[in-house]
């Protein structure tokens, strides 16, 4: 297998001049209007612990033996800008695709007190192996965005050599590989006002519903008052999912320590100006296995990567993903 780790500083992406800075590149991509040239077919899977997840399938005219599986970022869905752009490209190419919603992200609060979290590699394992059980000859190509990228990379490292029995290759995008660093970044300054407040507005109603439905020993007033990821992870995420506190959760869930153990061709795409995660905290070639290609552009923001003349489009990222899966040289 070709050693891809020497691509650490090789940039395939440069932001257009009319879109300067990591914040603008992030926010503009999120708000960029797209046409969905496809329709989803929803399927519900019952989980082993009595819960459920919903999957939105793209059904191209030809079924095919390959499937691109997209795992969305925090509070994302099949309607997220990166999901729509990728599904549009898969539709154009006649490739099967599916967006997997984590628990509580498909428009309906999940049944259990637990939800999903940044280190839930067991959920990734169950989902991908179920695809293979249903279609043993299926060639799986998972894509993880942001925290799902962290979950996917952690799973890849945990599985080691065993992963080749499940997937062909993988792509992780805008990944906060060290969750403590990411949380501190998002809990301060403009990031707290622009991004963290938005995430919390989405998360709080779901958690308040869980407090009511399950009688969780969490003060609703305290939950409404929180304004940082540290607070919500200390109050809910850590204790409900088996961690001591936020620091323990971040430490045990981060993917960075697992990157040297990955044994399947994997592409990491991050922008060094990502507002969610500092460029100087990204892994170096020495911190990953030879199976991991690192493409860290200077620009792009967080899952931004807008390209072209104004108003631009989001075609670069799905095109790069599919070229990697097809075996193109980075």
pLDDT (0 to 100) of residue 64: 78
- Cβ proximity of 126 and 155 under 8 Å: no
The pTM is what? Answer: 0.95
Tokens for 188? 């301060």
Looking only at the bridges linking them, the beta strands covering 139-145 and 66-71 are parallel
Q: Quick one: angle between helices 22-31 and 81-93, nearest 10?
A: 60
pLDDT (0 to 100) of residue 328: 35
The CATH architecture assigned to 5-178+258-325 reads 3-Layer(aba) Sandwich (3.40)
CA-to-CA dists, residue 279 to 43, 216, 321, angstroms: 38, 38, 21
| pLDDT tens for the 330 residues of the chain, in order | 333 433 444 457 999 999 999 999 999 999 999 999 999 999 999 999 999 999 999 976 557 799 999 999 999 999 999 999 999 999 999 999 999 999 999 999 999 999 999 999 999 999 999 999 999 999 999 999 999 999 999 999 999 999 999 999 999 999 999 999 999 999 999 999 999 999 999 999 999 999 999 999 999 999 999 999 999 999 999 999 999 999 999 999 999 999 999 999 999 999 999 999 999 999 999 999 999 999 999 999 999 999 999 999 999 999 999 999 998 333
Domain positions in the chain:
5-178+258-325, 179-253
Residue 32, classified by CB atoms within 10 Å of its CB into exposed (0-12), middle (13-18) or buried (19+), is middle
Q: How far apart are CA 171 and CA 43, in angstroms?
A: 24
- Which of 118, 146, 174, 297 is flagged as catalytic? 146
pLDDT (0 to 100) of residue 62: 59
With vertex at residue 186, the alpha carbon angle to CA 29 and CA 277, rounded to the nearest 5 degrees, is 65
Closest to 267 in 3D by CA, of 147, 168, 183: 168
- Cβ proximity of 318 and 84 under 8 Å: no
Tokens for 196? 């963290």
- Which of 81, 101, 117, 302 is flagged as catalytic? 302
What residues have CB less than 8 Å from 268, skipping those under 6 apart? Answer: 149, 153, 171, 172, 173, 175, 283, 288, 292, 293, 294, 295, 296
Tell me the torsion sign for CA atoms 230, 22, 25, 190.
positive
Q: Any catalytic annotation for residue 274? A: yes
Q: DSSP letter at 119?
A: T
- Which of 121, 274, 289, 297 is flagged as catalytic? 274
pLDDT (0 to 100) of residue 327: 82
Cα-only R_g, the chain: 19
Bond preceding residue 91 cis, omega within 30 of 0: no
Q: Any catalytic annotation for residue 72? A: no
Tell me the torsion sign for CA atoms 128, 134, 135, 136.
positive
Q: Any catalytic annotation for residue 146? A: yes
- Cβ proximity of 87 and 58 under 8 Å: yes
Q: How far apart are CA 282 and CA 217, in angstroms?
A: 37
pLDDT (0 to 100) of residue 12: 79
State the residue for tokens 């507002």. 275
What residues have CB less than 8 Å from 170, skipping those under 6 apart? Answer: 141, 142, 143, 144, 152, 156, 264, 265, 266, 267
């Amino acid at each position: 297998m070709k050693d891809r780790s020497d691509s650490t500083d090789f940039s395939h992406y440069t932001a257009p001049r009319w879109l300067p800075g990591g914040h603008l590149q992030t926010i503009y991509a999120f708000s960029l209007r797209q046409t969905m040239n496809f329709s989803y077919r929803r399927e519900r899977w019952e989980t082993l612990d009595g819960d459920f997840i919903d999957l939105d399938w793209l059904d191209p005219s030809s079924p095919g033996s390959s499937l691109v599986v997209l795992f969305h970022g925090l509070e994302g869905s099949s309607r997220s800008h990166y999901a729509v752009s990728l599904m549009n490209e898969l539709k154009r190419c006649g490739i099967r695709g599916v967006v997997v919603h984590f628990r509580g992200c498909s428009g309906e609060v999940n049944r259990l007190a637990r939800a999903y979290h940044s280190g839930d590699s067991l959920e990734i394992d169950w989902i991908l192996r179920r695809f293979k059980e249903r279609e043993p000859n299926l060639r799986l190509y998972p894509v993880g965005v942001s925290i799902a990228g962290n979950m996917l990379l952690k799973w890849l490292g945990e599985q080691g050599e065993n992963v080749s029995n499940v997937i062909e290759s993988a792509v992780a995008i805008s990944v906060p590989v060290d969750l403590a660093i990411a949380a501190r970044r998002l809990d301060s300054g403009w990031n707290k006002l622009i991004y963290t407040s938005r995430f919390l507005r989405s998360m709080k109603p779901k958690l308040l519903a869980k407090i009511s439905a399950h009688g969780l020993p969490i003060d609703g007033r305290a939950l409404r008052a929180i304004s940082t990821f540290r607070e919500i992870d200390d109050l809910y995420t850590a204790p409900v999912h088996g961690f001591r506190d936020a620091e323990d959760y971040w430490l045990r869930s981060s993917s960075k320590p697992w990157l040297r153990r990955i044994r399947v061709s994997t592409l990491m795409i991050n922008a060094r100006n990502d507002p969610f995660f500092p460029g100087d905290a990204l892994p170096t070639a020495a911190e990953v296995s030879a199976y991991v290609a690192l493409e860290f552009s200077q620009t792009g923001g967080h899952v931004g990567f807008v390209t072209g003349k104004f108003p631009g489009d989001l075609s670069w990222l799905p095109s790069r993903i599919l070229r990697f899966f097809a075996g193109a040289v980075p």
